[in-house]
Amino acid sequence: MLNKKFNTVILASASPRRLDILQSASINPTIIIPKCTEILPENIEMQDAVMFLALKKALWAEEYIKEKELEYKKSLIIAADTVVYYNKIIGKPKDKSDAFDILNTLRSNVHYVATGVALINTLSYEKRGFCDVTKVFFKDYSDEELKAYLETDEPYDKAGAYAIQGTFSKYIDHIEGDLNNVIGLPLYKTLEEINKL
């Protein structure tokens, strides 16, 4: 499907989870890691925040291709950004103490995970963006269980300080929405939007 429309698919992300999701759909992208700041405007809403950052990453990759004069004229750029929301936007933890505070707050509660996706067709310069939101319901867990989890490498490069597909999955009661969205890329919605390009 994608091979007929684009010579190359570019994933503007360093996330191995997003790469895994695309590869599960037989899409093997070229990786370009955006080197742009992720500073958000003040008082920005959750959905706007992730779409803002996803577009910023996609535009950075587009400019990088032009500057380096790479032969990606008929390419698709995919960029995404994911945040957790519970009373405020929660990104990746700064350290172990921050991760503890985040997961202590989310314990026995319901929160939202939003992923913004930006798509750029480098031939037509057409751009599309969307946001998908999933509700995540956490079980209760003890301080000892939480501290043991924080001794693993899993929490520290993930929004909300947990990996729903990892060892933390036993503390998930249920979700309402797309699991892949929580992992980092809502695959089916992304493929739908690509088909509209």
Q: What is the tens place of the pLDDT at every residue in 102-131?
A: 999 999 999 999 999 999 999 888 999 999
C-alpha angle 23-24-26 in degrees, rounded to nearest 5: 60
pTM metric for this prediction: 0.92
pLDDT, tens digit (0-9, with 9 covering 90-100), for 141-185: 999 999 999 999 999 989 999 999 999 999 999 999 999 999 999
pLDDT > 70: what percent of the chain?
Answer: 98
* pLDDT at site 154: 94
Rounded CA gap, 175 and 139, in Å?
Answer: 11
The architecture (CATH level 2) of 2-196 comes to Alpha-Beta Complex (3.90)
* pLDDT at site 175: 98
* pLDDT at site 68: 84
* pLDDT at site 2: 62
Q: Where are the beta strands (DSSP E) in the chain?
A: 8-11, 30-31, 75-85, 89-90, 110-121, 127-138, 172-176
* pLDDT at site 3: 53
Q: Is the pLDDT assigned to residue 93 strictly greater than 70?
A: yes
Nearest in space to 186 (alpha carbons), one of 85, 57, 54, 76: 54
Active site residue 81: yes
* pLDDT at site 47: 95
pLDDT-derived band of residue 19, with 50, 70 and 90 as boundaries? very high
Q: Is the pLDDT assigned to residue 8 strictly greater than 80?
A: yes
Helices 16-24 and 187-196 sit at what angle, rounded to 10 degrees?
Answer: 70
Average pLDDT for residues 36-46, to the nearest whole number? 86
Q: 20, 81, 153, 173: which one is catalytic?
A: 81
Q: Is the pLDDT assigned to residue 91 strictly greater than 90?
A: no
Averaged pLDDT score across all residues of the chain: 93
Average pLDDT for residues 58-65, to the nearest whole number? 95
